[in-house]
Amino acid sequence: MSEPAISIRDLQVALPAWSDRKLAVAGVSLDIAPGEILCIVGESGSGKSMMGKAILGLLPAPHVRAVGGQVHFEGRDLLTLSEDALRAVRGRRIAMIFQEPMTALNPLMPVGRQIEEVLEIHTDLAPAQRRARVLDLIRDVHLPDPERMIASYPHQLSGGQRQRIVIAMALALEPGLIIADEPTTALDVTTQAQILHLIKELQRAHGTAVLFITHDFGVVAEIADRVAVMRHGEVVEQGAAADVLGAPQADYTKALVAAVPGLKPRLREPADGTPPLLRVVDLEKTYRISSGLFGGAVREVKAAKKVSLELKRGSSLALVGESGSGKTTLARCIIGLESVESGLIELDGERISGRSRAELRPHRKNIQMVFQDPYASLNPRQRVGDIVALGPMLNGVGREEAIAQARELLRLVGLKPDAVERYPHEFSGGQRQRIGIARALAVKPKLIVADEPVSALDVSVQKQVLELLNDLRKSFGLSMLFITHDLRVAATVCEEIAIMQRGEIVERGATADIFAAPSHPYTRSLFDAVPGRAWISGLG
pLDDT in tens, 408-429: 999 888 888 889 999 998 887 7
**Does residue 277 fall inside a structural domain?**
no
Last residue of a domain, one of 172, 204, 227: 172
**Does residue 278 fall inside a structural domain?**
no
Same domain, 151 and 246: no
What is the residue-averaged pLDDT of the chain? 88
Which pLDDT value is given to residue 291?
A: 54
Same domain, 125 and 254: no
Last residue of a domain, one of 195, 227, 259: 259
Last residue of a domain, one of 150, 172, 194: 172
Same domain, 370 and 519: yes
Same domain, 486 and 516: yes
Same domain, 496 and 363: yes
Please say if the pLDDT value at position 292 is more than 70. Answer: no
Range of the domain at 113: 102-172
| Helix, strand, coil fractions of the chain, as percent rounded to 5 | 40, 25, 35
CA–CA distance from 116 to each of 59, 132, 150, 421 (Å)?
26, 10, 10, 52
pLDDT bucket at 354, cuts 50 / 70 / 90: confident
Same domain, 84 and 151: no
Number of domains within the chain: 3
**Does residue 21 fall inside a structural domain?**
yes
Please say if the pLDDT value at position 128 is more than 90. Answer: yes
Of 221 and 264, more confident: 221
CB 440 within 8 A of CB 370: yes
Same domain, 44 and 133: no
Same domain, 66 and 107: no
The DSSP code for 481 is E
Predicted TM-score (pTM) of this structure: 0.82
Which pLDDT value is given to residue 305?
A: 92
**Cα separation, 239 vs 253, whole angstroms:** 12
**Does residue 292 fall inside a structural domain?**
no
**Does residue 375 fall inside a structural domain?**
yes
What is the arithmetic mean of pLDDT over 151-167? 87
Closest to 446 in 3D by CA, of 484, 473, 466: 473
pLDDT bucket at 402, cuts 50 / 70 / 90: very high
**Does residue 267 fall inside a structural domain?**
no
CB 80 within 8 A of CB 132: no
Same domain, 44 and 108: no
**Does residue 319 fall inside a structural domain?**
yes
**Cα separation, 457 vs 399, whole angstroms:** 32
Same domain, 140 and 184: no
Same domain, 195 and 339: no
Of 32 and 143, more confident: 32
Which pLDDT value is given to residue 177?
A: 94
What is the arithmetic mean of pLDDT over 47-66? 90
Domain with 31 in it: what CATH number? 3.40.50.300
Same domain, 49 and 131: no
